[in-house]
C-alpha cells in the first residue's frame, strides 16, 4: 500500500507517518511506501526508514507526478495556516484552495479511486456578526467561517464531497480541533499560543497568553488528532459525506494553567504572562468550544480525558525533566 | 450608477435589466448604464435602450476589462446550469467556480468596493445519503449539495462572504428558487420541466413530465425571483453574511396542473404526459420543498400567492390567447 502525506514534514504529518509505520497496517494493509510531500525535507528518523520517500517542493508543482504514482491512500494535511491566510489573502487561496483542487484533479486523473483523508479544521466555525453559533456544535451545524483559512477549509470539504460523489475518489474530511501541545516553534496559527503557554514553561522559558484566562477552548492532543485522522480514514461508513468533527476536550485557558501547575509546579505557571492581543482574541473567541462529535464517537474515538494527561504525554514524548525552577 | 449583469442575455438577466430600467432607480440612484455580459447579445428591445451596453464573450476573458470599469453594482447571474454541470464536471468547475473567482478578483482589483448580488440557488440543498434534510429549510440549515452545480453555488457563496468580510466588496448571496414559468426553450436545468409542463400546453403543444404528480416543489415566478434579487441587493442589513433563501411557493406537480386546468381548461392539462425519468426524478426529489425564509420576509419579500396567479401573469406577459382546443 502506497500512502501520500501532504504537509508530511510538518509536525502532524511526521507524527502521522511515524504512527502508520509503527502500526504496520492501515485499512488492513501494510504501508510499504509512505511518500511525504512538503516544502521541507522530513526529519532524519523518518528518512532513515526505507519505507519513507520524500517529495520536496511546492505540492501544486508535484501534481502531474502524483497522477502517475497512483497512491492508494492520501492524507492531505498541507495548508497555509490561519494567521498567514488572514495576513495574505492571495497566499491562502493559492496554498489552500488552488493546491487542493490541483491535488483532487491529479487523483481523479490517476483513475484508481484512492482513499483521501482531508484534514479540515474546527476553524470552519466562527461567529457571523448577526448569527451566533449554537452553544453546542454538531456535524450538521452550518459553518459560518470568520477567517479566510476557515472559508478555504470549508470550500475544500465541499470539493472533496463532490469528487467523492462523482466516484473519482473515496474522500472524507475530518475537522481537527486545535492541537495542543505542539512542540517546536509557533507556526503562525492564531491558536499557536495554546501550545506555547504549556510548552515554553515546561522548557523553563517564559510565554505570553494573548487571551483572557476564562477563554473556553476545544483541544485535542497530537496523538488524539492523529488517531482521529486514521479512524476517519479507515472507516467504511461515516454516515454521509459531510465532514466529521473530531472529538474535543473542552477546557479554559485558566484550567490549562491549573494542569500545568499540577504537573510542573507553580514556577512553571508563573512563567505565563497575560498580554491581551485583540486580533488573536477576536479570532480565538469566535471559535466554538463545545462539540457534540457523535459521528466521531461512533467510530470509537474519544476526546482526551483531561489536560493533565495531555501535558504528561508531552513531557514523556519529549523526555522533559521536571522539578526545580 | 453603473450596473453589471452577468448572464445578462439570459431570461432572468433580461428581466432584471428591464425591471431596473423601468424602476429608474436602484439603492436610490439612477441606473445610467447597464452592462450586460453574456455569451450572446441581448434582446433587441434592450439594445435599443441607450442605457444598455452589451459585453459579448466569455466572462472570464472580460475580467481584466471589468477591473477598469469600476461598476457600482454587479448582479452575478452567469452560470452553467445543473444538468450541464452533472454531465460535464470540468465545465461546471470552470464556468461556475473559476469564473466567479475571476470576477471577484476583478472587482477586488477595481478597488471601489462595489455591491455584488450573487444569484445562488436552492439547489445547494440536497439529501446526503445518510443525512436527511429537515422538513423545513431555514437560512442556517447546512446545505449538503448532491449535484456539482449545488456544490459550486455553495462554494461561491463562501467566496462572496469572505471577499465581503475582507472589505473587498459589499457582497450578498440570494438563493433563487426554481423559477416557473420560464418562456422559450428549456435551458438544460434539471428543473426545466417545471416550466415546460405549464408553458407548452398554454402554447397548445404537448409536454412531458419526468416526475410523479405528487412530487412537491418550491417555486417562484420570474417576477418574484427578480424582486428578491433586487431587495437583497438594496438591503442595508441582511442579518449576517450567509446566503438568503428567497421566498418559495410550496406546491406539487399535480397542483400545478390543477392550476393550469383552472386557467386554460382541461384540454391544456391533457397535453401533459407523465414519463418518469429516474435521473431527473432523483435530482428533483432531492431538493427541499418547504422553506422558512424569515430573513427574506424581513426584507418585505413574499412568496407568490398561488400557482394560478403565476400562470395568469405568464399568460398576460406573453400575450397568450386562451380558449378553444
Sequence-separated (6 or more) residues with CB below 8 Å from residue B66: B4, B103, B106, B107, B110
Tell me whether residue A228 is in a domain: yes
Mean pLDDT of chain A: 94
Judge: A144–B89 Cβ closer than 8 Å, yes or no.
no
Distance of CA B1 to the CA centre of its chain: 23
Strand (E) or helix (H) holding A92:
helix A89-92
Q: Residue A284 has what pLDDT?
A: 85
CA pseudo-torsion sign B131, B136, B138, B143: positive
Task: Kindly state the average pLDDT of the residues B81-106.
Answer: 94
Tell me whether residue B84 is in a domain: yes
Q: Considering only the beta carbons, identify the residue of A89, A158, A242 that sits closest to B151.
A: A158
Confidence of residue B317 (pLDDT cuts 50, 70, 90): very high
pLDDT reading at A189 higher than 80: no
Sequence-separated (6 or more) residues with CB below 8 Å from residue B270: none
pLDDT reading at B41 higher than 80: yes
Tell me whether residue B56 is in a domain: yes
Q: Considering only the beta carbons, identify the residue of B128, B161, B238 that sits closest to A241.
A: B128
Distance of CA A168 to the CA centre of its chain: 25
Residue-wise burial string across A49-78, b where 16 or more C-beta atoms lie within 10 A, e elsewhere = eebbbbbeeebbebbeebeebebbbbbbbb
How far apart, in whole angstroms, are the C-alpha atoms of residue A284 and residue A127? Answer: 10
pLDDT reading at A4 higher than 80: yes
* Closest to A118 (Cα-Cα) out of A153, A94, A91: A153
Q: For residue A244, list chain B residues with Cβ-Cβ distance below 8 A.
A: none
Residue of A nearest to B90 (CA): A105
Q: What angle do CA B12, B15, B19 make, to 5 degrees?
A: 135
Tell me whether residue A82 is in a domain: yes
Which DSSP symbol is given to A301?
A: -
C-alpha cell at position B30: 439612477
C-alpha cell at position B285: 426529489
* Closest to A179 (Cα-Cα) out of A162, A203, A199: A199
Q: Which residue has the higher pLDDT, A153 or A129?
A: A153
Q: Which of A26, A71, A118, A149 is catalytic?
A: A149
Judge: A151–B158 Cβ closer than 8 Å, yes or no.
yes
Q: Residue A115 has what pLDDT?
A: 98
Q: For residue A148, list chain B residues with Cβ-Cβ distance below 8 A.
A: 162, 166
Q: Residue B150 has what pLDDT?
A: 95
Confidence of residue A324 (pLDDT cuts 50, 70, 90): low
Strand (E) or helix (H) holding A74:
strand A73-76
* Domain coverage including residue B86: 2-177+220-245
pLDDT reading at B243 higher than 80: yes
Confidence of residue B187 (pLDDT cuts 50, 70, 90): low
Q: State the virtual CA torsion across B70, B240, A218, A97 in degrees, nearest 10.
A: -30
How far apart, in whole angstroms, are the C-alpha atoms of residue B235 and residue B250? Answer: 25
Half-sphere exposure of A91 (CA within 13 A, CB side): 10
Residue of A nearest to B237 (CA): A130
Q: Residue A7 has what pLDDT?
A: 93
B241 touches chain A (CB under 8 A): yes
Tell me whether residue A227 is in a domain: yes
How far apart, in whole angstroms, are the C-alpha atoms of residue A16 and residue A117? Answer: 12
pLDDT reading at B16 higher than 90: yes
Tell me whether residue A318 is in a domain: no
Could you tell me where the beta strands, DSSP code E, fall in chain B? 2-6, 33-38, 52-56, 73-76, 115-121, 170-176, 178-179, 207-209, 216-220, 244-245, 249-252, 272-274
Strand order in the sheet with A216-220: A178-179, A216-220, A249-252
Distance of CA A216 to the CA centre of its chain: 19
Judge: A162–B144 Cβ closer than 8 Å, yes or no.
no
Confidence of residue B43 (pLDDT cuts 50, 70, 90): confident
The question of whether B163 is a catalytic residue gets the answer no
pLDDT reading at B265 higher than 90: yes
CB atoms within 10 A of CB A134: 13
Question: Is there a contact between A229 and A75 (Cβ–Cβ < 8 Å)?
Answer: yes
Q: Considering only the beta carbons, identify the residue of B148, B155, B240 that sits closest to A130.
A: B240
For residue A181, whether the previous peptide bond is cis, meaning omega lies within 30 degrees of 0, is: yes
Three-state secondary-structure class, residue B74: strand
How far apart, in whole angstroms, are the C-alpha atoms of residue A217 and residue A286? Answer: 10
Q: Which of B71, B149, B154, B163 is catalytic?
A: B149
Three-state secondary-structure class, residue A170: strand
Sequence-separated (6 or more) residues with CB below 8 Å from residue B252: B213, B214, B215, B216, B217
How far apart, in whole angstroms, are the C-alpha atoms of residue A100 and residue A77? Answer: 10
Q: Considering only the beta carbons, identify the residue of A140, A142, A146 that sits closest to B165.
A: A146
Partnered with residue B236 across adjacent β-strands are none
How far apart, in whole angstroms, are the C-alpha atoms of residue A123 and residue A137? Answer: 12
Q: For residue B142, list chain A residues with Cβ-Cβ distance below 8 A.
A: 140-143, 242
Q: Which range among A132-141, A211-220, B79-88, B262-271 shows the weakest confidence by mean pLDDT?
A: B79-88
B144 touches chain A (CB under 8 A): yes
End-to-end alpha carbon distance in chain A: 49
Half-sphere exposure of B41 (CA within 13 A, CB side): 6
Q: The CATH number of the domain where B140 resides is what?
A: 3.40.50.720
As for how many domains chain B has, the answer is 1
pLDDT reading at A72 higher than 60: yes
Q: Residue A234 has what pLDDT?
A: 97
Sequence-separated (6 or more) residues with CB below 8 Å from residue A170: A113, A114, A115, A116, A164
Tell me whether residue B143 is in a domain: yes
Q: Residue B131 has what pLDDT?
A: 82
- pTM of the predicted protein model: 0.95
Tell me whether residue B307 is in a domain: no
Question: Is there a contact between B253 and B184 (Cβ–Cβ < 8 Å)?
Answer: no
Amino acid at each position: 500500500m502506497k500512502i501520500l502525506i501532504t504537509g508530511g514534514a510538518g509536525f502532524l504529518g511526521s507524527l502521522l507517518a511515524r504512527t502508520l509505520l509503527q502500526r504496520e497496517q492501515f485499512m488492513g494493509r501494510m504501508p510499504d511506501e509512505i511518500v511525504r510531500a512538503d516544502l521541507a525535507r522530513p526529519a532524519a528518523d523518518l528518512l532513515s526508514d526505507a519505507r519513507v520517500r520524500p517529495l520536496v517542493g511546492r505540492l501544486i508543482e508535484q501534481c502531474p507526478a502524483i497522477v502517475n504514482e497512483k497512491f492508494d491512500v492520501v492524507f492531505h494535511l498541507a495548508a497555509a495556516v490561519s494567521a498567514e491566510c488572514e495576513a495574505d489573502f492571495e497566499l491562502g487561496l493559492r496554498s489552500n484552495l488552488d493546491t487542493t483542487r490541483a491535488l483532487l484533479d491529479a487523483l481523479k486523473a490517476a483513475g484508481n479511486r484512492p482513499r483521501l483523508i482531508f484534514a479540515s479544521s474546527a476553524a470552519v466555525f466562527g461567529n457571523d456578526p448577526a448569527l451566533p453559533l449554537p452553544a453546542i456544535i454538531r456535524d450538521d451545524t452550518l459553518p459560518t467561517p470568520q477567517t479566510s483559512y476557515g472559508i478555504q477549509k470549508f470550500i475544500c470539504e465541499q470539493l472533496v464531497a463532490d469528487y467523492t460523489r462523482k466516484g473519482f475518489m473515496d474522500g472524507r474530511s475530518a475537522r481537527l480541533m486545535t492541537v495542543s501541545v505542539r512542540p517546536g516553534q509557533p507556526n503562525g496559527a492564531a491558536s499557536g499560543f495554546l501550545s506555547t503557554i504549556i510548552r515554553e514553561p515546561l522548557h523553563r522559558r517564559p510565554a505570553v497568553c494573548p487571551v483572557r484566562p476564562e477563554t473556553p477552548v476545544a483541544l485535542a492532543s497530537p496523538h488524539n488528532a492523529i488517531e482521529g485522522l486514521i479512524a476517519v480514514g479507515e472507516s467504511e461508513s461515516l454516515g454521509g459525506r459531510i465532514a466529521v468533527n473530531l472529538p474535543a476536550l473542552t477546557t479554559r485557558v485558566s484550567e490549562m494553567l491549573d494542569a500545568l501547575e499540577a504537573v510542573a509546579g507553580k514556577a512553571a505557571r508563573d512563567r505565563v504572562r497575560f498580554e491581551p492581543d485583540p486580533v488573536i482574541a477576536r479570532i480565538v473567541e469566535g471559535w466554538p468550544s463545545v462539540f457534540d462529535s457523535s459521528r466521531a464517537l461512533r467510530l470509537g474515538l474519544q476526546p482526551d480525558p483531561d489536560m493533565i494527561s495531555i501535558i504528561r504525554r508531552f513531557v514523556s514524548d519529549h523526555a522533559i525533566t521536571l522539578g526545580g525552577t
